[in-house]
């Protein structure tokens, strides 16, 4: 059993069996309020899957404050259970969902970009092209930021159609992790995909008051 | 069976720039592990919330591991998890809240979401060398994030806010005046160093909200932004006149103004409420001049001063764990899992989201559960 947690876009917690069967799929539609809802979602999923072997974490990209809630919760849960975490790029979960849905209908999925809001008039996007032999989405361009107005031109250049994600499935995050584990592959670093430095400027001289 | 008047509690504190993990057994301190991101904020001249929140996420797991190792306990031994729900920086608090929920669900243990400010008071009960904390007591909490005067009738059930800062926290005022004097961050120790050779009576800087006309509605409130502006104006006028700025005198006089107003208002509260006890807490208590003046003037006023060990005065997880341990010993039920971070949590809310449907961990003990006050 693998527990999946993603708070890059809403709050989602799921549990799957190692063969991919979904045992629990909990989510909150509220794009905010991650800290408020994650405990109850986690408890429900953990009740359905009481002995997970791994915790898959969506590492973003996504709005930082919410993203961190899921990562902090997932790491602490794994620590408490004494099981390892499996970091997964959140866009990989979206991409696997798109590719599996098309595979079910027999549709041929063109090269596509998973696009999510990155605030500050920017989008985050990653480009995918089909599934590989491990059943994982082939990520041909890692997550990057683009000004909103430039995105379509960039995607045209990359030959990718645009897929705007409105949610990330924690079950798909868990399934990506299961397939990565089966293949012995690591898909993401242990740290969040912030893509942006903290937006601060060094202290300037104090303003005059007289 | 575990006696719940001495529960083993792991506390998580992430309200500002210190990632604090504390482990207590009742009133016994087993670990006070702190990872600070202060150095990362130094070049910005103040705490940057996003930098602090990132640092918390990085520091949490190593800090939990370190605290468990120091305490010599395993996570499976823990009776309850405690976490700061507020007040503090929202994004920073949420990292701790998420981690606490993950841990509590994984261990299937009760979770106590508590108030950071009341935690500062609870730090006192971990001081094994001090006698029992007596009630009521006035508490003055001073740090880079808060400046509050409280009347504590019972740590777990009755804390009243007498006053707080209307603008900058006292620690923030130290940081800002340090910058005016071209001293590095954090300002507290730098101002102290600069003030060592200065004359605290050289310049009469204003004492905020201390006029007779302030007594009606702001008797126990603080304001430090006017003081900061007065220091800035004084320095500018000297620079404009081509005179060298006597940094030592400015630093000593500024510090005296802050210390004077803090101690005066705290002792005024002691007198008005007939409470001969004053508890000091918060990181600014590290300021020796503040401690000295408070002790000297309190002694003259017949007020007994309690100061927790300094490593328990700065933000830490041990005080959060200690407060939860007292709540458990008082028979309080755990919190639900449905609380969030509350950056402006009022001090009267000692515990957040107490679950009416839960059973208190100490319930089995019935009337033998120890209350804090008698
Ligand atoms: Zn504090």
Share the mean pLDDT of chain A: 95
CA distance B95 to chain A (A): 5
End-to-end Cα separation, chain B, in angstroms:
25
- Evaluate if residue A3 carries a pLDDT over 80: yes
pLDDT at A203: 58
d(CA A190, CA B185): 31
- With CB atoms and an 8 Å threshold, state whether B90 touches A65: yes
- With CB atoms and an 8 Å threshold, state whether A36 touches B338: yes
- Evaluate if residue B256 carries a pLDDT over 90: yes
pLDDT at B372: 42
pLDDT at B359: 87
B92 close to B348: Cβ distance less than 8 angstroms: no
Q: Specify the 3-state DSSP secondary structure of B235.
A: helix
- Evaluate if residue B365 carries a pLDDT over 60: no
CA distance A181 to chain B (A): 22
pLDDT at A199: 72
End-to-end Cα separation, chain A, in angstroms:
66
- With CB atoms and an 8 Å threshold, state whether A76 touches B179: no
Q: Give the residue-averaged pLDDT of B261-277.
A: 98
Q: Which residue has the higher pLDDT, A209 or B49?
A: B49
Residue from B11, B103, B18 nearest B56 by CA: B18
d(CA B325, CA B9): 6
- With CB atoms and an 8 Å threshold, state whether B99 touches A64: no
B34 close to B350: Cβ distance less than 8 angstroms: no
Tell me how far CA of residue A17 lies from CA of A1, A6, A48, A133, B265, in angstroms.
4, 18, 11, 21, 62
Q: Give the residue-averaged pLDDT of A97-105.
A: 96
Closest-approach residue (CA) in chain A for B109: A80
Alpha helices by DSSP H, A62-116: 64-81, 90-105
Alpha helices by DSSP H, chain B: 38-41, 49-71, 90-107, 116-122, 170-180, 187-195, 215-218, 225-240, 247-272, 288-301, 310-313, 317-329
Which residues of chain A have a Cβ shorter than 8 Å from any chain B Cβ?
A: 33-40, 42-43, 46, 64-65, 68-82, 191-192, 194, 198-203, 206, 208-210
Q: What is the A74 CA–ligand 1 centroid distance (Å)?
A: 27
**Percentage of chain B modeled with pLDDT above 90:** 88
Q: Has this prediction a pTM greater than 0.90? A: yes
- pLDDT one-digit tens code per residue, B56-90: 999 999 999 999 999 999 999 999 999 999 999 99
Q: What is the B144 CA–ligand 1 centroid distance (Å)?
A: 8
Alpha helices by DSSP H, A25-169: 34-48, 64-81, 90-105, 151-158
Cα within 13 Å of Cα(B128), Cβ side = 6
d(CA B95, CA B134): 34
Q: Give the residue-averaged pLDDT of B201-224.
A: 94
- With CB atoms and an 8 Å threshold, state whether A33 touches B340: yes
d(CA A170, CA B161): 43
- Evaluate if residue B4 carries a pLDDT over 90: no
Q: Give the residue-averaged pLDDT of B238-261.
A: 96
d(CA B178, CA B9): 39
pLDDT at A202: 57
Maximal C-alpha separation, chain B = 75
pLDDT at A30: 79
Q: What is the B355 CA–ligand 1 centroid distance (Å)?
A: 26
- pLDDT one-digit tens code per residue, A27-75: 997 778 999 999 999 999 999 999 999 999 999 999 999 999 999 999 9
Q: What is the B231 CA–ligand 1 centroid distance (Å)?
A: 26
A99 close to A86: Cβ distance less than 8 angstroms: no
Q: Give the residue-averaged pLDDT of A99-113.
A: 95
pLDDT at B363: 55
- pLDDT one-digit tens code per residue, B181-191: 999 999 999 99
d(CA A86, CA A58): 9
- pLDDT one-digit tens code per residue, B114-156: 999 999 999 999 998 888 999 999 999 999 889 999 999 999 9
For residue B240, give every residue at least 6 positions away whose Cβ sits within 8 Å of its Cβ, in sequence order, or none.
none
On chain B, the residues whose CB falls within 8 A of the CB of A206 are: 176, 179-180, 232
d(CA B48, CA B38): 10
- Evaluate if residue B374 carries a pLDDT over 60: no
- With CB atoms and an 8 Å threshold, state whether A209 touches B236: yes
- Evaluate if residue B236 carries a pLDDT over 90: yes
Residue from B67, B55, B60 nearest B31 by CA: B67
pLDDT at A195: 95
Task: Find residue A80's DSSP bridge partners.
Answer: none
Share the mean pLDDT of chain B: 93
- With CB atoms and an 8 Å threshold, state whether B232 touches A73: no
Closest-approach residue (CA) in chain A for B45: A203
Confidence of residue B2 (pLDDT cuts 50, 70, 90): very low
pLDDT at A142: 98
d(CA B50, CA B47): 9
d(CA B104, CA B31): 19
Tell me how far CA of residue B217 lies from CA of B78, B164, B212, B226, B260, in angstroms.
46, 12, 10, 18, 20
Q: Which residue has the higher pLDDT, B48 or B3?
A: B48
pLDDT at B43: 81
On chain B, the residues whose CB falls within 8 A of the CB of A39 are: 101, 104-105, 111, 337-338
Smallest Cβ distance to B233: which of A72, A82, A209? A209
- Evaluate if residue A97 carries a pLDDT over 90: yes
The three-point CA angle B268-B274-B280 to 5° equals 55
- Evaluate if residue B287 carries a pLDDT over 80: yes
ipTM of the complex: 0.96
On chain B, the residues whose CB falls within 8 A of the CB of A64 are: 50, 53-54, 91
- pLDDT one-digit tens code per residue, A167-198: 999 999 999 999 999 999 999 999 999 999 98
Q: Give the residue-averaged pLDDT of B274-284.
A: 96
Q: Which three-class secondary structure string do you get for B265-323?
A: HHHHHHHHCCCCEEEEECHHHHCHHHHHHHHHHHHHHCCEEECCCHHHHCCCHHHHHHH
On chain B, the residues whose CB falls within 8 A of the CB of A74 are: 102
């Amino acid at each position: 059993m693998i527990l999946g947690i993603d708070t890059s876009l809403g709050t989602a917690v799921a549990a799957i069996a190692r063969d991919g069967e979904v045992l629990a799929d909990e989510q909150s539609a509220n794009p905010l309020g991650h800290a408020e809802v994650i405990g109850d979602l986690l408890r429900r999923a953990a009740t359905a899957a009481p002995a997970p072997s791994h915790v898959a974490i969506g590492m973003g990209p996504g709005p930082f404050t919410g993203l961190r809630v899921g990562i902090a919760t997932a790491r602490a849960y794994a620590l408490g259970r004494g099981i390892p975490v499996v970091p997964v790029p959140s866009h990989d979960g979206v991409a696997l969902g798109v590719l599996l849905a098309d595979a079910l209908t027999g549709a041929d999925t063109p090269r596509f970009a998973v696009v999510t809001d990155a605030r500050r008039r920017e989008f985050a996007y990653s480009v995918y092209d089909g599934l590989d032999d491990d059943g994982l989405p082939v990520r041909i361009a890692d997550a990057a930021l683009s000004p909103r107005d430039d995105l379509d031109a960039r995607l045209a250049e990359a030959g990718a159609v645009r897929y705007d994600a409105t949610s990330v499935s924690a079950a798909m995050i868990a399934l990506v992790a299961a397939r990565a584990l089966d293949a012995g592959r690591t898909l993401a670093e242990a740290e969040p995909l912030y893509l942006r430095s903290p937006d601060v400027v060094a202290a300037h001289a104090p303003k005059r008051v007289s | 069976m575990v006696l719940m008047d001495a529960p083993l509690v792991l506390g998580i504190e992430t309200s500002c720039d210190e990632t604090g993990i504390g482990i207590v057994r009742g009133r016994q301190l087993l670990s006070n592990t702190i990872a600070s991101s202060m150095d990362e904020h130094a070049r910005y001249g103040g705490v940057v919330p996003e930098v602090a929140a990132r640092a918390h996420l990085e520091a949490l797991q190593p800090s939990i591991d370190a605290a468990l190792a120091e305490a010599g306990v395993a996570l499976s031994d823990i009776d309850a998890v405690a976490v700061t729900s507020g007040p503090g920086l929202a994004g920073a608090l949420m990292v701790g809240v998420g981690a606490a929920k993950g841990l509590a669900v994984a261990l299937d243990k009760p979770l106590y979401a508590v108030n950071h400010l009341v935690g500062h008071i609870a730090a006192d009960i971990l001081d094994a060398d001090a006698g029992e904390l007596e009630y009521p007591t006035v508490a003055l909490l001073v740090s880079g994030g808060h400046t509050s005067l409280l009347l504590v009738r019972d740590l777990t059930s009755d804390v009243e806010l007498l006053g707080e800062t209307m603008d900058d926290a006292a620690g923030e005022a130290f940081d800002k005046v340090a910058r005016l004097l071209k001293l590095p961050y954090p300002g507290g120790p730098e101002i102290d160093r600069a003030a060592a050779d200065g004359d605290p009576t050289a310049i009469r800087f204003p004492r905020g909200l201390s006029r007779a006309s302030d007594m009606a509605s702001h008797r126990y409130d603080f304001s430090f932004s006017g003081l900061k502006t007065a220091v800035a104006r004084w320095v500018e006028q000297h620079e404009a006149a081509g005179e060298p700025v006597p940094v030592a005198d400015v630093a000593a006089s500024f510090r005296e103004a802050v210390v004077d107003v803090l101690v005066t208002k705290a002792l005024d509260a002691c007198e008005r409420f007939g409470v001969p006890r004053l508890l000091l807490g918060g990181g600014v208590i590290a300021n020796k001049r503040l401690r000295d003046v408070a002790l000297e003037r309190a002694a003259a006023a017949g007020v007994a001063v309690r100061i927790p060990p300094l490593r328990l005065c700065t933000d830490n997880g041990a005080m959060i764990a200690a407060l939860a341990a007292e709540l458990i010993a008082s028979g309080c039920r755990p919190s639900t899992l449905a609380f969030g971070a509350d950056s402006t949590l009022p001090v009267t809310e000692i515990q957040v989201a107490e679950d009416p449907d839960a059973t208190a961990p100490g319930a089995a003990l019935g009337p033998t559960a120890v209350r804090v006050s008698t």
